[in-house]
């Protein structure tokens, strides 16, 4: 798949739209505002295929990339698991139109049933987000079954909204690469597969690499630029590490954004941002990047300035 160059987001302080979990921008375009049920169609027992769920999902930003299969005649075939995690599992799916050469690979992120997810760390990330109805707020705060389902839906919606926002930026001076958000259906998020489309091998995580000095410097520069783009939007990744950064054809790709933090609205936002910098900075320093280049205090200060907090 291709890499994508995206410019900086507009500063929120200039009056641009802010992220709202209750009515994110992608749900304000005449599409349903209630989460759709998880897919329940059974795959064909002989082929493992099921009809594409494109028709009843919330779609990613337009124009859709040329590689994306949107035909209603397409079928989805499960090819295996790319990653398992505490919050969600990521599967590899081929979407193809039978008897044609139209096909693409997708990474399908399925958030775990709320009864089987860990919610002890949700509270800090959810500060600064809001829903309009007090019933939902109370349910989320008390972690009732309904509240846990609300939180699970917020994770998926937050990731889809953040990726959509970043993708829609278009070409410009600042750069960040993220997977294209294909569609959202309930708590299932379909994304561009970042890796080798022929073999189905995913791009390596930064943690898997041992870059030479020149590559290390280039990857650090890409990372700092990506963090600047997020900070100008008032965002911190919230859980950044070498394990949720991919390297594809020399390009650093930011993934796993369900916990994206509003550094302005969330009282802990600056602390989340500082932690992101410390974690990734420590990885680069351990692999030989000079300490003065990865000084966490200096980088964090620059990013808080970009966010308008200094």
Query: Which residue numbers are catalytic?
Result: 239, 256
DSSP-H helix ranges across 30-126: 122-126
What's the CA gap between 310 and 299, in Å, rounded? 13
Which residues, at least 6 apart from 93, have a Cβ–Cβ distance to it below 8 Å? Answer: 76, 77, 78, 79, 105, 106, 107, 108, 190
Torsion angle in degrees (nearest 10) through CA of 75, 76, 78, 82: 150
Please tell me whether residue 292 adopts helix, strand or coil conformation.
Answer: helix
Dihedral sign (CA 115, 118, 121, 127): negative
Establish whether the linkage from the previous residue to 63 is cis, with ω within 30° of 0: yes
- Nearest CA to 233 out of 274, 190, 174 is that of 174
Give residue 174's Cα distance to chain centre.
19
How far is 59 from 81, CA to CA, in rounded Å? 23
- Spatial separation of the C-alpha atoms in residues 300 and 293, rounded to whole Å: 12
CB 68 within 8 A of CB 180: yes
Closest CA to 166 of 77, 248, 257, 88: 257
Residue in the block written with tokens 């075939």: 77
């Amino acid at each position: 798949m291709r890499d994508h160059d995206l410019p900086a987001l507009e500063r929120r302080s200039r009056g641009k739209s802010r992220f709202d979990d209750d009515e994110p921008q992608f749900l304000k375009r005449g599409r349903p505002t209630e989460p759709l049920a998880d897919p329940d169609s059974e795959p064909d027992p002989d082929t493992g295929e099921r009809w594409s769920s494109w028709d009843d999902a919330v779609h990613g930003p337009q124009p859709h990339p040329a590689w994306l299969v949107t035909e209603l005649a397409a079928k989805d075939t499960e090819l295996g698991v790319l990653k398992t995690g505490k919050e969600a599992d990521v599967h590899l799916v081929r979407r193809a139109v039978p008897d044609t050469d139209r096909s693409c690979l997708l990474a399908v992120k399925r958030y775990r049933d709320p009864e089987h997810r860990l919610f002890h760390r949700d509270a800090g990330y959810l500060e600064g987000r809001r829903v309009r109805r007090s019933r939902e707020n109370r349910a989320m705060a008390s972690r009732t079954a309904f509240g846990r389902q609300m939180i699970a839906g917020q994770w998926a919606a937050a990731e889809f909204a953040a990726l959509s926002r970043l993708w829609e930026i278009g070409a410009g001076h600042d750069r960040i690469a993220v997977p294209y958000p294909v569609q959202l259906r309930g708590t299932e998020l379909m994304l561009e597969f970042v890796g080798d489309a022929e073999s189905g091998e995913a791009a390596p995580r930064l943690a898997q690499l041992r870059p030479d000095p020149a590559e290390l410097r280039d990857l650090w520069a890409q990372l700092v630029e990506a963090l600047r783009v997020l900070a100008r939007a008032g965002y911190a990744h919230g859980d950044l590490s070498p394990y949720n950064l991919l390297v594809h054809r020399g390009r650093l790709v930011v993934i796993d954004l369900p916990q994206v933090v509003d550094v302005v609205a969330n009282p802990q936002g600056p602390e989340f941002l500082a932690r992101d910098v410390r974690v990734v900075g420590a990885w680069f320093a351990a692999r030989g990047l000079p300490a003065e280049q990865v000084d966490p205090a200096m980088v964090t200060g620059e990013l808080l300035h970009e966010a308008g907090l200094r």
